[in-house]
């Protein structure tokens, strides 16, 4: 799993081929990492999101991912994914794994060799850090992703410590 790297820092500074955004299903921006990515990318990112077809206001169902250009960000793409709201989702573990898996598969389908990931659902959506880290790292460690360079941008020391502990015990893919 030396293809998985952890950085304590701001994902809007990432220069990987794709940056994954922890969005909501409307894909109209928000707070947290969603707000930071839209702020750094500029208004073109929202314009790109508005082009994604919506059904009853939903552009990206939970566990799925959508890809747009990256506006002013150094990356080629922003991949918007929607993680589960921990307290109300019927299958949070499956949906969190699906959000990571859909994002990485979409990045590969667009020829990306490197992907920057945030800790999806670990903020507003309330996912407990240790459970989320296990799901995130097990999913990224699936053999299908072993040629991708995956970089987690973790926003504080607490979450970085949790991810590092889990990463240290991962078997090779
Ligand atoms: N870089 C990296 N990580 C960040 C950044 C940043 N600039 N800003 C916040 N984070 C971290 C948070 O500390 C948390 O660990 O991203 C993780 C995910 O938190 P949220 O951004 O709150 O995302 P999530 O929990 O998935 O909730 C998504 O929040 O912002 C809204 O529109 C978004 O409705 C959606 C919901």
The answer to whether the pTM exceeds 0.85 is yes
Sort residue 27 into left (φ over 0), alpha (ψ -120 to 50) or beta. left
The tokens describing 92, both together, are 């949070």
Pick the residue whose CA is nearest to atom 5 on ligand 1.
33
pLDDT, one tens digit for every residue, the chain (173 residues): 579 999 999 999 999 999 999 999 999 999 999 999 999 999 999 999 999 999 999 999 999 999 999 999 999 999 999 999 999 999 999 999 999 999 999 999 999 999 999 999 999 999 999 999 999 999 999 999 999 999 999 999 999 999 999 999 988 87
Please say whether the beta carbons of 88 and 95 come within 8 A.
no
Distance CA 52, CA 99 (A): 18
Distance CA 9, CA 52 (A): 29
As for ligand 1, residues whose beta carbon falls within 6 Å of it are 10-12, 22-24, 30-36, 83, 118-125, 153, 155, 159
Sort residue 57 into left (φ over 0), alpha (ψ -120 to 50) or beta. left
Q: Which domains does the chain have, with CATH numbers?
A: 4-167 (3.40.220.10)
């Amino acid at each position: 799993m030396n293809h998985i790297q952890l950085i304590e820092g701001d994902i809007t500074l990432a220069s990987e081929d794709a940056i994954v955004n922890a969005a909501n299903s409307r894909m109209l921006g928000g707070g947290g990492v969603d707000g930071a990515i839209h702020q750094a990318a500029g208004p073109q990112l929202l314009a790109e999101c508005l082009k994604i077809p919506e059904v009853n206001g939903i552009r990206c169902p939970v566990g799925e991912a959508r890809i747009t250009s990256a506006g002013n960000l150094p990356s080629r793409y922003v991949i918007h994914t929607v993680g589960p709201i921990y307290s109300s989702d019927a299958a949070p573990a499956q949906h969190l794994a699906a959000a990571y898996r859909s994002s990485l598969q979409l990045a590969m389908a667009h020829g990306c060799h490197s992907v920057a990931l945030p800790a999806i659902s670990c903020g507003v959506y309330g996912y407990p850090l240790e459970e989320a880290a296990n799901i995130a790292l097990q999913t990224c460690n699936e053999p299908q992703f072993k040629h991708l360079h995956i970089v987690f941008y973790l926003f504080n020391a607490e979450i970085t410590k949790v991810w590092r502990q889990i990463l240290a015990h991962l078997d090779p893919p």
